[in-house]
Structure 1
Amino acid sequence: MKKKIMYAGFALSLMGLAILSSCKKDSSVAGTTKVQIRMTDAPGAFDQINLSVKEIILFSDGKPYTFTAQPDIFNILDFRIGTSKPDILVASGEIPSGDITEIRLVLNDENTIVVDGVSQPLTTPSGQSSGWKVKLTENPSLIPDVSYSLLLDFDAAKSIVKTGNGKYLLKPVVRGITVANSGLISGTIMPVDAHPEVLVINGQDTVGTVADAITGKYTVGGLAAGTYSVKYVPVTGYRDSTVTNVSVVLGQNTDLGTMTLTQ
């Protein structure tokens, strides 16, 4: 995609912890989707719950894709919706678009809990190498060129189990919520020999692409919700044309249909 000015805008907290992540891709799947995975907390009566996330596995159309998380330990109780730190970014990457059917949270062994000022290990039951299944509020369909945040809501009160000898076990109870962070504008330009540049404009921000030389189709993704103008700038011999008041909704494709340019 040719871009004159990149439009910046995810709906949820792109300013956050910078994380090196990796994601396995399947090049046979048409279209990819950018995903951020964030965590927040439903409070519990503890001083700290320090988690070390190893990886998060997303199953798209039944195939697993692994996102490597930051290895540093963080106190999940520091991140609560409605506060100045509503969540923490734990991983990000790009996967083939499709239906998310399952999410698994895989932890390292360095988890700890602090109760009444005393820190002790927070152990997980054996046999959890495949991770903990996240309960999804829905099975989202990830659309190509739309960015999403997957918010993992960690329930501290339900996730910690105190044993008879005063130790603590970690059995994560996590709810997954999907939020679309951007939308699309698409359409078709005729005649194809106009070879137009397509400019999507919102105020001082412009994103550009070109129509396919054979089909005349175009798609501009990664757009924040709002109202745009779409300007078609063809090669010499055809007139510019502009469509105004184009509404973009997060997670949806605004299809402008076929635009026929005149000479």
Structure 2
Amino acid sequence: MNRLTIKYWPGLAAIVASGALIAGCNSGGSSSDSEGEATFSLAVTDAPVDKVDGVFVKFSEVTFNPRDGEPFTVPVENPDAINLLELQGPESEPLVTDETIPAGTYNWIRLHLDADEESDIPLAGSEWSFIEIDGERENLFIPSGEQRGLQLNMPGGETISDGQNLRLVIDIDLRKSLTLTGDDRYILRPVHRLVSLDNVGHLTVLADPALCEDETADNATPATYVYEGETENLGDIGSDNAPLTTANRDDEAVEGRWQFRVGFLEPDTYTVALVCNASEDDPEEGGNELIIGAQGSVDVSGGDTTDELVFETEPDDDDDVGEETSEDEGEPTEEV
């Protein structure tokens, strides 16, 4: 695991990096894109949300609309409603695995959900998509989820090559997607990103809870926001500069630190912010004030590896600060 540690003192931050970045890439398929067959796999993962215990979504089928040919559907493997809150960080649930499909160019591919915006019938078993709060179920309304579905814009374009093994994961960001209306209805308008599994990495963020002490109300909960590239423009969920994805705090601490896990990131540089009042960030509105406890940039390696970013506080004493230290050697290497 590669680790990047950012320590915070009043008015001073030092970045400590160690470990070698490991990048890997694998891809399948040939150069033909006009005929033949390919294999298709799709899984689902989740960037979570606060204030609910479960978000159960029932997926039904994937519809393919080839440019040359008739549309066809592939049923999902799991007929039951899936609790998206259990699919955090690198966790995912397969929906379609190694399905043989015609190679070629597709107008669109859509993932359909079992949902009825107008339904108020009692919930039973796993027949419907629903919310769970304090052991009680509430109907979850997903506009057009069954009819239109979620359009999957494939990474690399709309052409699937002969012999290609297309493996995708759809990341549904519940923090951006789930809203509670004035008449107490939960509505899911899925905001999602589609990632190829050919070369992805994961990120673990550890943060000292003291970074958010006295920064927000007791009932607010923290999260990490992940932005593309190196940036100081850290927007809220409803803004034009919204994060690419978010992660909630895990239930268990790691050596006294909060832990946040972010999964399925393409190899690149990202800016990560510890948002102390994330539960107060309303996705329906822009301009919510974010209380940032810490921020820093990190390189995600890819190759199905996990990188680590640590936000720490430092006691106000006479210790030397501003040194970059190798975790392997334990000696100062550069002063910043």
**TM-score with structure 2 setting the length:** 0.41
In structure 2, the residue matched to 1:35 is 40
Letter in 1 for 2:44: M
In structure 1, the residue matched to 2:64 is 58
Change in CA separation of 1:97 and 1:135 when aligned onto 2, cut-off 3 Å: closer
The answer on whether the counterparts of 2:114 and 2:146 sit within 8 Å (CA) in structure 1 is: no
Distance 1:101 1:39 in 2: 22
Q: Structure 1 unaligned segments of length 5 or more: list them.
A: 1-10, 13-28, 182-249, 251-263
The structure with the largest alpha-carbon Rg is 1
In structure 1, the residue matched to 2:88 is 80
The answer on whether the counterparts of 2:35 and 2:104 sit within 8 Å (CA) in structure 1 is: no
Distance 1:118 1:112 in 2: 10
Q: 1:226-245 maps to which residues of 2 (within 5 A)?
A: none
| Match of residue 149, structure 1, among 167, 171, 176 | 167
Letter in 2 for 1:39: V
Which is richer in strand?
1
| Match of residue 133, structure 2, among 85, 100, 115 | 115
CA RMSD after TM alignment: 2.8
Structure of greater relative contact order (alpha carbons < 8 Å, 6+ residues apart):
2
Q: CA deviation at 1:161?
A: 1.9
The answer on whether the counterparts of 2:114 and 2:145 sit within 8 Å (CA) in structure 1 is: no
Letter in 2 for 1:48: G
The answer on whether the counterparts of 2:63 and 2:74 sit within 8 Å (CA) in structure 1 is: yes
Distance 2:171 2:145 in 1: 23
The answer on whether the counterparts of 1:147 and 1:180 sit within 8 Å (CA) in structure 2 is: no
**TM-score with structure 1 setting the length:** 0.51
The answer on whether the counterparts of 1:100 and 1:139 sit within 8 Å (CA) in structure 2 is: no
Change in CA separation of 1:81 and 1:148 when aligned onto 2, cut-off 3 Å: farther
Q: 1:56-205 maps to which residues of 2 (within 5 A)?
A: 56-61=62-67, 64-69=71-76, 70-82=78-90, 86-92=91-97, 93-109=99-115, 110-125=128-143, 128-180=146-198
Q: CA deviation at 1:149?
A: 0.8
In structure 2, the residue matched to 1:196 is none
Q: CA deviation at 1:80?
A: 2.4
- Between the aligned residues of both structures, percent identity stands at 27
Q: How many residues align?
A: 153
Q: Structure 2 unaligned segments of length 5 or more: list them.
A: 1-25, 28-33, 116-127, 200-302, 304-336
The answer on whether the counterparts of 1:32 and 1:144 sit within 8 Å (CA) in structure 2 is: yes
Distance 1:127 1:78 in 2: 21
Q: Residue by residue, what CA displacement relative to the aligned partner does 1:127-151 show, whole Å, maximum 9, x if unpaired?
A: 8513232354542532222312121
